[in-house]
Amino acid sequence: MVLLLPGGHPAGTRRPSALAALGQRPLARRLARVAGPEGLVTHVVRYRRRGWNGAAADPVRDAEWAADEVVRRYGDVPVCLVGTDMGGRAALHAAGHPAVTSVLALAPWLPASTPSADTEPVRQLAGRRVLLVHGTNDERTDPDLSFRLAERAKKVNRDVCRFEVHSDGHTLHQHRSEVLALAVDFVRGSLFGHPYARPVTDALAAPPPLGLRMPLASGFGTSLGY
């Protein structure tokens, strides 16, 4: 099971726009095409509120509720949380749910103010496979903050890696095909035990900072058929 967590806003109690969920469709379609025949199911989580809302951390509660629903509906199946922007932070926070075995955070939003990347919790990531992806030219969410968080997470969990998409911005639009291929490779490897592509294997094995600043090569996934 893959639970897709959309982006959002730092604060806001109204229901989110449907556009946020629509942004998850390209990855959901790619995952269904490649891994659907193996039994993969994907769901986009619909938040109750559009904002993180400080200590309430509303999207984290929604992600945990969704994981509970997976267990109730499907039984003991491994869950990968895939989050974008605010959803990336929510995925990292909700990783401690017993059903979650892996986390993928795309351009995760980590506020520079407290709590920052230096105080964000990481112990819940222990025992999970974790991949962060960030564009080096992201002007909305600071890539240095995700590196610092990954650096701290690597100290409690060796199965953490991070890819940098050079010259790309927050939406990772310039290298969308490579980012989608990387996501599919990570999900297939984490949920179904397929061998990861060599760059992912190398990133997981490399010590910091090498495995946390792995460049995403142009054309990644082409030979893999993703």
Q: What is the pLDDT of residues 142-165, one digit of tens each?
A: 999 999 999 999 999 999 999 999
**Model-level pTM greater than 0.85?**
yes
Q: What is the pLDDT of residues 91-124, one digit of tens each?
A: 999 999 999 999 999 999 998 765 566 889 999 9
Residue 185 has a pLDDT of 98
Beta-ladder partners of 130: 103, 160
**Residue 155 burial (10 A CB sphere; 0-12, 13-18, 19+):** exposed
The pLDDT tens digits for 55-95 are 999 999 999 999 999 999 999 999 999 999 999 999 999 99
Peptide bond into 209 cis (omega under 30): yes
